[in-house]
Amino acid sequence: MSKDMICDFCGKSVKEVEKIFSAENAHICNECIGTCSDIIHKEQLKKERAEFQKGLSIPTQIKEHLDNYVIGQEEAKKVLSVALYSHYKRIDKPIFKNVEIEKSNIMLIGPTGSGKTLLAKSLAKIMDVPFAVADATALTEAGYVGEDVESILSRLLASADFDVERAQKGIIYIDEIDKIANKSESATSGRDVSGEGVQQGLLKILEGGEVYVPVKGSRKSSSAETILFDTTHILFICGGAFVGLVKDANDSKDKKPKKMGFLTSTDEEFTSQEIESKDLINFGLIPEFIGRIPVIATLNQLSIEDLIKVLSEPKNAIVKQYQALFELDGIELEFSDDALQEIAKMADEKGVGARGLRGIIEKIMLPLQYELPAKKDIEACVITKSFINGESEVELIKRKKTKKEAN
């Protein structure tokens, strides 16, 4: 190698670098090779990121979508957004650079009416995938009267119009999961057909594997038509109230309530007890079951202010739905602020959260839905607090007659 040789890229001589590589009349030093390698690596990372995010909403976009349907629960929505994003990246790249990306099923813990089912359903809307809801209390261990755990997959298959490939990328929400906790200390003698046995039965489908699923019906039998169904890419979301769990944790001497999440000045600030896997195991869920649900999100009891927002702010808010129904009859429907406050207060007193709002409004609106379609001269209907409490009649605004009608 000539002592006068220089790098054609940076102009450094052989004395200034460790080594210069030559090919015909071209020369490049080791430092320039390292720089080129770094540039290529960064470009490759950009390409891989673009490929990962192809067709996916990033976590911030997922949360923005959830904000349109679910009021409050800021921390839970962030946790779910990250989990959903990671899950559907994993479907395309289950193994990346010899690293196997494990499945991240989700546990939602919160009181009745706090939005667990709605959150799960909204996630399915974001990804445009099949969605199915199952009640854990209806499931029983194989060999007992009730529904096999495989029946959950049958529901998902049906929601996908029996398109197996599409169903295998869907989302399943299992409600009342706390009701199958194994509380053997207080249980009566005999086999537990809806507790630990069901947890054991759910293990395989939660982790991901191939199972035979009945196409119709809730139980497998020798005569039933079945198909082979792979649950590897199904996202399972389990939900439960776990009554007493948070209270017990707060009462513990060696635990203090922790502020969860990455809160900013614009976020809803709240203090929430961080639920850990060992808390759920102490509650009665077996370690193997909890091991397959690594993501845990806690939902708060909705306040009266939250319930008022639930009534009117989301895209599919109950008030908006009723306004659309009345508009089809040519009637403008309004709810006064004190009326919304009263409805939210009634739901809060009953302890049913957002889930009870529809039942309360339906009871209020039924007489009006029955009578008003027959009244052709009504332009608007105003729901007030005094009407809800039975202290006055509903406010009806009559349509002004045209000159032709007046004559």
Residues within the annotated binding site for Zn(2+)?
Answer: 7, 10, 29, 32
Answer for the pair 121, 172: CB distance below 8 angstroms, yes or no.
no
Q: How far apart are CA 141 and CA 149, in angstroms?
A: 8
Single-letter amino acid, residue 26: A
Report residue 58 CA to chain centroid gap.
15
- Sheet arrangement for strand 131-135: 131-135, 171-175, 235-240, 106-109, 295-298
Output DSSP code: residue 61.
Answer: H
How is 275-336 classified by DSSP, letter by letter?
P-HHHHHHHT--HHHHHT--EEEE-PPPPHHHHHHHHHSSTT-HHHHHHHHHHTTT-EEEE-
Task: Kindly provide the b/e burial profile for residues 281-298, where b requires at least 16 CB atoms within 10 angstroms of the residue's own CB.
Answer: bebbbbeebbebbebbbb
Per the structure block, which two tokens stand in for 12?
Answer: 């450094």
Helix pair angle (337-350, 304-312), 10° resolution: 120
Asked if residues 342 and 363 have their Cβ atoms less than 8 Å apart, the reply is no
Query: Binding site residues, as ranges?
Result: 7, 10, 29, 32
